[in-house]
Structures are given as structure tokens and as C-alpha cells.
Amino acid sequence: MRTHWREVALLATLAGVLGCAPTTDPPSLADHRLDDPPPALSHRPGAAGIGDPDFPTDGNGGYDVSHYGLVVDYVPATKQLKGVTTIKAAATQGLSRFNLDLAGLKVSGVRVDGAAAEFSRNGDELTVTPAEPIDVRSRFTVKVTYAGVPQAEKDSANLGTYGFVPTPDGAFVASEPDGSKTWFPNNDHPADKATYDFKITVPAGVTALANGELVGKPTTAGGKTTYHWRERHPMASYLATATMGKFDLREGRTPGGIPETAAVDPRFKSALDKLYTVSGEVTDYWSKVFGPYPFSSTGGIVDDFAAGYALENQTKPLYGGFAPDASIIAHELAHQWFGDSLTIRRWKDLWLNEGFATYAEWLWSEHKGKRTAKAIFDELHAQPATSPIWAYPPGRALPHDLFNMSVYTRGAMTLQALRDAIGDTTFFKLLQDWTAAHRYGHVTTDEFIALAERLSGKDLSKLFDAWLFQPTRPA
Ligand code: ARG
Ligand code: ZN
């Protein structure tokens, strides 16, 4: 699902035809160009990347996924995963073949619309050649059967360990930025969102937790239990989880009435009630500040893998080996709006996720009568001009240093500088209008700046340039 995708391409093309500068970035991520040859003549291979210049092989070109049906059987004792992934997609160009992203694991068969297809592997690319080429704009179904021992992504510069990470009793699954390919074949880039069904089979006694809500009760037969979870709102692949293990659960509704599931590894038993209570309170509070909660349930998971980070997995943020405090719960749940409902098209815009979620931590502090966002901003702004935060402009996150502190902290400072410039009333209306205008869709930095300027009636180009794009401390 790529919201507004073709609209953007059309506008940019029109702007080009009319000789005016496009107001959006050129549509380099668009799959089908208006000057493509007519469909009948134009079956050609889909690109091996979706078009994000910073992550050239992430995602793929030529199609748009609407739904993933994942069937996963996992045995913690042997770390063996068996999977069948059914992908519903629409072709955005005529396709002679196309790629999926998949790292490791052995593929035993691929079918396209029920017919056996040829496939080959090259690095993390799975190339599928259907028996019949696929016409532009037609819908098709791909079924991939695979198995093996998933290998998490590890030690890459500053990302730590991510993807499908085995734990003694199950698995910790946190995939930002591109670790979903370690456990199922997919279009592994946030520019293509889709809905998901997860059917996860584990040994009886093990709990499997995925995004969204349970469909029916888990069923047990032959010593195995199958959980069916459904995420019915569009989701980026990096937010998909199938976290498994022994868990203590608390389920119910937030005071505001949103269904909630909190789960903790038994080692964090004493953290369960706080996780449940604070997550409920935060979800309800952000629903007032940022606009209606975008999804059908909320909650959180604490697992016993010491990832050194948390991840805002849609509807169920995952905390890696620590009992979260209210501040980080406020951060991960703010991401449900900023990152999950409103999703970046390119990783360089990551401050739209991390700057907003960090600013939410400051808003939570302010809400609780502790330090105001302004006081936190002032203290950070007083850092010496030599602080590395000023050398790294957060408006363009670097692929080799994606989660740099500047993207978080200076990103959040950008929002405080904006709030100072346009006033509280306009600032908080902007946050609500922003989440409403792009709910379940995609966003860019330019779109945020344009909305801020429209609502405030001010030229904010100098402010955003200084805060987001200059390698120096803004005045
Ligand atoms: N988005 C996460 C957060 O809320 C950070 C994820 C870090 N990912 C990683 N592979 N280290 O801050
Ligand atoms: Zn974050």
C-alpha cells in the first residue's frame, strides 16, 4: 500500500511538463512512469531495490504489497523455523520477474497465482520468475515455502542485533530498519505498507505474540499451540513481530477503552503491572494530544534479550531486556502515531519518527509537572559548540549512522524551536492536523514543513534549515 504514491508521481510529472519546480522530491521511488511503453510491450524485471538511495537493495520495484499471510512454525530448542508466506500484491509495471528480500533460510518452492514459479537467490534477494509474465496494474498472489535457522543481523556499525533473534525460550523479533527479511520473504522497506495475518505455531506452553489482535482462541493439538494474530491496519515491515517465549500476561482495556495486552518474560515479572498501567495511561493521553489512537489495540512486551534498545512494533512496542520507565514507554507509544501510522518513505527522514518520539518524552515530563520541554531544550542548547550533536544535521539521517543521538535529540529540539516560533495553539493543532492528514500513510520532511507554514502563515524555511540541515549549532 503506497498512499498518495501515484498522486505524487503525477504532480511531479505535471510540474515538469509545465516547467515549474516540483514541490515534492522527484518521484525516484515511483515504479510506473507515465512515459513507460504500453503494458503489452513492457514486461521487464522489477528493480532489486525500492529506490531509497541510502539503502539501495532494500525493498523491491515493480509491485505494491497489500497483505502478508504468514504461517510460521518455530521450535525454540532447535531454532528451526518453517514458514509459508502468502503475499497479495499489485503490479506497478509489467513484470517478467520480480524480487523479494530474504536473508538466509532455504526456499523450497514459490508459486505465483497457484502456478509453480522459478526462483533464484543472490545475497538477500530472492528473484521470482513466474510462468506467465504479470501485466501492469494486475493483482497477483505469491506463495513462498521456506525453512531453516534464522540468522539475526549483527554487528553492523551502530544497529546492534536486530531481526529474528533466538532466545532460550523463543525469539525476540525487532526488525528496524531491514531485519524482517531474516524471518519472512517480503518487500523490506517502509515505503510499502501492508496488512498482516500471523499464524504462529509453537510448542505448547510457549506464548506467541504478534501485532494487532488475536483471531479466535489459540488452538492446541499434538503438543503444539497455534496463535492467529491479525494487524488490520497498514504496517511497515520493520514493525512486524512474532515474539515468542514464556510470558506473564495482563490483558484488558485502557481507562479510555482501548484493548491492551502487556507481556513480560518471567524474569521481569515485577515490571508487568507498571508496563500495563503506564502504557494504558500514555496511550490515552497521546490520543488527546496527537489525535485519535490509530490502531485497534495497545500494549507492550518485555523480553529477556538485552538488545540495548526498544522498538515501536505496531500495537506492541518491544523492550529488549530491561524494565521500561514511563519516559521510554511514552517514546515508543508516541511512535504509534509518528512512525507507525505516519510512515517515512525514505530512511533519511527518520527524524520524523525519532525527533517526534523524543519530543513526546519531554511532553510527558511536562505533563507530569516535571521539567518542561522548554527547560530540557534550554539545557541541551547550552551544550558547547563542539558537541557532536551540532555536527550532525538530523534532517538527513545517515545510512551508516541512522540512529545517531542527533536524530533523536536535535530532532526534538527542532520541534521546540518550532513551538516557540508559532505558539502553543498552532503547534498542537499542527500535531493533530499532521496525524489526521497522513493517517496510515507516508510522510516526508517537506510535507511537514509545508503544513507548519500553512497553519502558522509564517515563512519557516530559515528555522527548519538551521535546525535540520546545518552542521552547526543554531543560534
Ligand atoms: N526506533 C527505536 C527507538 O524507538 C530504535 C531502534 C533501533 N534499532 C536498532 N537496530 N538498533 O528508538
Ligand atoms: Zn524511537
Shared domain for 440 and 469, answered yes or no, is: yes
Q: Are residues 150 and 62 in the same domain?
A: yes
Look up residue 226 and give its three cell numbers.
497455534
Residue 160 Cβ < 6 Å to ligand 1: yes
**28, part of any domain:** no
Terminal Cα distance for the chain, rounded: 41
Q: Whose CA is nearest to atom 3 of ligand 1?
A: 311
Spell out the residues 6+ positions from residue 384 whose beta carbon is closer than 8 angstroms to its own: none
Task: Please name which ligand lies nearest the alpha carbon of 313.
Answer: 1
Proximal ligand: closest to the CA of 358: 2
Domain assignment present for residue 150? The answer is yes
Q: How far apart are CA 431 and CA 448, in angstroms?
A: 10
- Whose CA is closest to atom 6 on ligand 1? 311
Residues 308 and 327 reside in one and the same domain: yes
Give one DSSP letter per residue of 288-340, joined into a string.
Answer: HHTSS--SS-EEEEEES---SSEE--TTS-EEESS---HHHHHHHHHTTTBTT
Are residues 286 and 424 both part of a single domain? Answer: yes
Specify the CATH number for the domain of residue 446: 1.10.390.10
Picking from 213, 245, 277, the residue at the C-terminal end of a domain is 245
- pLDDT, mean of each 10-residue run, the chain (475 residues): 43 37 40 55 93 97 98 98 98 98 98 98 98 97 98 85 97 98 98 98 98 98 98 98 98 98 98 98 98 98 96 98 98 99 98 99 98 98 96 97 97 98 98 98 98 98 98 96
All three cell numbers of 342, joined, read 505516519
Range of the domain at 179: 38-245
**Residue of 457, 424, 461, 467 lying closest to 446 (CA atoms):** 461
Q: Is there a single domain that holds both residue 312 and residue 207?
A: no
User: Is there a domain that residue 26 lies in?
Assistant: no
The answer to whether residues 393 and 416 belong to one domain is: yes
Together in a domain, 11 and 44: no
Domain assignment of residue 25, yes or no? no
- Indicate the number of domains in the chain: 2
Q: Pick from 311, 327, 344, 351 the residue to mutate for probing ligand 1's pocket: most ligand atoms within 8 Å of its CB.
A: 311
* Ligand 1 pocket mutation, candidates 347, 403, 405, criterion most atoms within 8 A of CB: 403
Determine, yes or no, domain membership for 460: yes
Q: State the DSSP H helix or E strand holding residue 228, giving kind and residue range, or none if neither.
A: strand 224-235
User: Which of 226, 245, 264 is the last residue before a domain boundary?
Assistant: 245
| 31 domain residue, yes or no | no
Residue 158 pLDDT:
79
- In the reported structure, the alpha carbon of residue 410 is separated from the centroid of ligand 1 by a whole-number distance in angstroms of 16
Same domain, residue pair 241 and 309: no
29: in domain: no
Residue 258 has φ and ψ, to the nearest 5°, of: -90, 130
pLDDT of residue 243: 98
Q: Are residue 395 and residue 284 in the same domain, yes or no?
A: yes
CATH number of the domain within which 220 lies: 2.60.40.1730
Element (H, E) at 442: strand 442-443
- 258 and 240 in a single domain? The answer is no
Pair (409, 323) in one structural domain: yes
Statement to judge: residues 183 and 66 lie in one domain:
yes
pTM above 0.85, yes or no: yes
Q: Is residue 53 part of a domain?
A: yes
Which residues does residue 164 pair with via DSSP β-bridges, in sequence order? Answer: 173
Of 219, 245, 271, the residue that ends a domain is 245
State in Å: Cα 442 to ligand 1 middle: 19
- CB of 310 shorter than 6 A to ligand 1: yes
